[in-house]
Amino acid sequence: MIQLENLTKIFETPDGVVTAADNINMTVPQGEICVLLGPSGCGKTTTLKMLNRIIPPTSGRVMINGEDTSTLDTISLRRNIGYVIQQIGLFPNMTIAENISIVPRLLGWDKKRYLARAEELLAMVALEPKTFMQRYPRELSGGQQQRVGVIRALAADPPVMLMDEPFGAIDPINREVIQDEFLKMQEELQKTILFVSHDIDEAVKMADKVAIFNAGKLIQFDSPDALLAHPCNKFVEDFVGTDRTLKRLRLAKVADVMTPAPTPVKPDDDLQTALQIMQNNDYVAVTMVDTLGRPIGSITRDLATAKRGRCGDHFYGLRAIARVDDDLRSVASAMFSKDTTWMPCVDDEGIFRGEISQRGVTHYLGATYRSREAQQTGVQHGEV
Amino acid sequence: METLAFIAESWSLIFSLTLEHISLVSVAVGLAILTGVPIGIAITQNESVAAVVLYAASIIITVPSIALFGLMIPVLSLFGQGIGYLPAVIAVLLYSQLPIIRNTYAAINNVDPALREAARGLGMTPVQRLRLVEIPLAIPVIFAGIRTAVVMNIGVMAIAAYIGAGGLGTLISRGITQTDPRQLIAGALAVSLLAIIADYALLYCQRKLTPKGVSA
Ligand SMILES: Nc1ncnc2c1ncn2[C@@H]1O[C@H](COP(=O)(O)OP(=O)(O)OP(=O)(O)O)[C@@H](O)[C@H]1O
Ligand SMILES: [Mg+2]
């Protein structure tokens, strides 16, 4: 767990004092990613660098697992905190393998172990170890260097990571890929991470908590969904963008929103059976699945009322199918592009698991506003 | 023609004087490296000290070599070393300080601050930072300083023959006193050739010692 207590940094410059970090208080629980977000010059890097004492705080404290970092030995503190600097900073005089194994070598690992570790890490970020181990940094593209910068910080498996815009030099497509890889890795490693970004989309995707800064002050500290749903002031509202509700679509998975396990029909079932199911459950339509349980069509109430015979002879084809681990943004996108308001949902094997509708999505997005209103009215009643 | 004949017949003399010259310059510049590089590194810690040290070193270099020898005679005579080997080595040692200290200072100071910060952030001690990052990156520039010192002081050492230090300057001074152009030209040629060869040899070493990933 990382706690910042009244953390302040004041730079004395020839043009006067600059308060780069102004009384920052926040707590990042063990295993979470906290994204520091804000416009250029708002103090993100300064705050980050006070954690490993690259910048000594003017006042206030940084506690890691309850220990005040100013009382610890700075060198060993830094070896236990992975640090990815904004400028990448690979050492040009060392090969990629040497760069990655710096901290393990400083910690006295034997050669076999640190080389194996370097290979493992390169493979993890999709850089072929055979090709890259012996290369020098200048022989790599900016994006490749940045990936090496990230794994160099991970090499000795530190429990805490500080990452200053670690994916800034990577093109959008590969950035998505490496962000996904990183999140998958984080699921396993459960590191406590402070991550600087000025990209709201990256923050929403990566963060358990977002800390929004402006002019050295921490303005809002909240989960991405709460931040997007309830920006605390005009600055945050403008910063997260007018499409903030649409951004929330990325935060929810189909599985969170779908109506789970409605009863489906089979092609051999009679339309009357389908109608019965719809009436009993108050459905407007029912999904038809094949013998393996994969959705192949749908029967609406109108259809079942108007026609006679087997479902397999009178069904509508499917316009789109959602997967349970898709996010709502891709569902909304498919609904718009396929002109549908309803989709069956399948698991990894393609088996029918539930249904998702436009209303369900809207309802899900609206829930947080309703609960906030209820709370506020509740408070008012309480006060009376 | 006469000069060529002289060179041919005194080949072994010229050779041994050249070796003597090389050894004088090597010892002096070697000592200058051992002092100048650490001084250059040390003064990166404090700008005002750096300014004073660099100023002092550039004053020394403006003193003509003959004057420097003259200044040292009374001082070193106290130890019975007023002329000969010791003052010659000391003069070259002093003259070499400026190029070596200045280049070391500049090279270490010019290491990209991002690399220094990365090294700190990864938990290197100041000594590890120097050894693993700053010195390897500074090598091409430090070596350029050493080459300047060597080339310049091969010339200075020729003058040290006047205080009996030996080396190729012996030929030149004898050529002047005996009005023998053959010795004078042979000596001057040898000194120039030596400077050129030394420069190339050191350039070769510099390329060998520069870390592979660092462009020279
Ligand atoms: N060493 C320093 N001396 C004086 N002022 C500084 C120093 N470092 C940073 N600042 C100032 O402190 C403020 C915060 O800088 P910081 O680097 O933390 O910004 P940032 O949020 O990381 O911005 P960016 O997104 O551009 O990286 C800026 O106004 C900057 O000019
Ligand atoms: Mg920054």
The verdict on a CB contact (< 8 Å) between A137 and B128 is no
Q: What is the pLDDT of residue B6?
A: 87
Identity of the amino acid at A153: A
Give the separation between CA A157 and CA B20, rounded to whole angstroms: 58
Q: What is the pLDDT of residue B203?
A: 93
Q: What is the pLDDT of residue A382?
A: 43
B113: closest CA of chain A, how far (Å) = 9
What is A2-251's CATH number? Answer: 3.40.50.300
Substitution target in B117, B122, B125, B209 with the highest count of A β-carbons within 10 Å is: B122
Q: What is the pLDDT of residue B134?
A: 95
* Paired tokens of A125: 């970020």
For A27, A62, A160, A200, A227, the CA distances from A209, given in Å and listed in that order, are 10, 18, 16, 12, 9
To which residue do tokens 């029912």 refer? Answer: A286
Q: What is the pLDDT of residue B57?
A: 93
E-strand ranges in A166-230 read: 192-197, 209-214, 217-222
Q: What is the pLDDT of residue B213?
A: 84
Whether B76 contacts B86, CB under 8 Å: yes
Give the separation between CA A228 and CA B84, rounded to whole angstroms: 84
Give the separation between CA B212 and CA B216, rounded to whole angstroms: 9
The verdict on a CB contact (< 8 Å) between B121 and A54 is yes
| Minimum Cα–Cα distance from A136: chain B residue | B213
Cβ neighbours of residue A18 under 8 Å, at least 6 residues apart? A10, A11
| Residue to probe by mutation, ligand 1, list A7, A8, A10, A11, most atoms within 8 Å of CB | A11
Domain ranges of chain A: 2-251, 254-362
How far apart are the CA of A48 and the centre of ligand 1, in A? 11
A2-251 against A254-362: fold identical? no
**pLDDT > 60? residue B2:** yes
pLDDT 10s digits, A343-364:
999 999 999 999 999 999 999 9
Give the separation between CA A250 and CA A246, rounded to whole angstroms: 8
Q: What angle do CA B98, B104, B109 make, to 5 degrees?
A: 125
Q: What is the pLDDT of residue A246?
A: 87
State the Rg of chain B over Cα. 20
pLDDT 10s digits, A167-186:
987 888 888 888 988 999 89
- Residue B102: pLDDT band by 50, 70, 90 thresholds? very high
State the angle between helix axes of B65-77 and B135-159 in degrees (0 to 180), rounded to the nearest 10: 80
Residue A40 near ligand 1, beta carbon < 6 Å: yes
Q: Which residues does chain A have with pLDDT short of 50?
A: 382-384
For ligand 1, atom 20: residue with the closest CA: A41
Give the separation between CA B63 and CA B204, rounded to whole angstroms: 31
Please report residues of A whose CB lies closer than 8 A to that of B112. Answer: 87, 89
Question: Can you count the helices (H) and strands (E) in chain B?
Answer: 10, 0
**pLDDT > 50? residue B42:** yes
Whether A37 contacts A205, CB under 8 Å: no
What is A254-362's CATH number? Answer: 3.10.580.10
pLDDT 10s digits, B45-97:
999 999 999 999 999 999 998 899 888 888 888 888 888 889 999 999 999 99
Q: Which residues pair with A344 in a beta bridge?
A: A355
| Minimum Cα–Cα distance from A77: chain B residue | B123
Q: What is the pLDDT of residue A202?
A: 92
Give the separation between CA A361 and CA A356, rounded to whole angstroms: 8
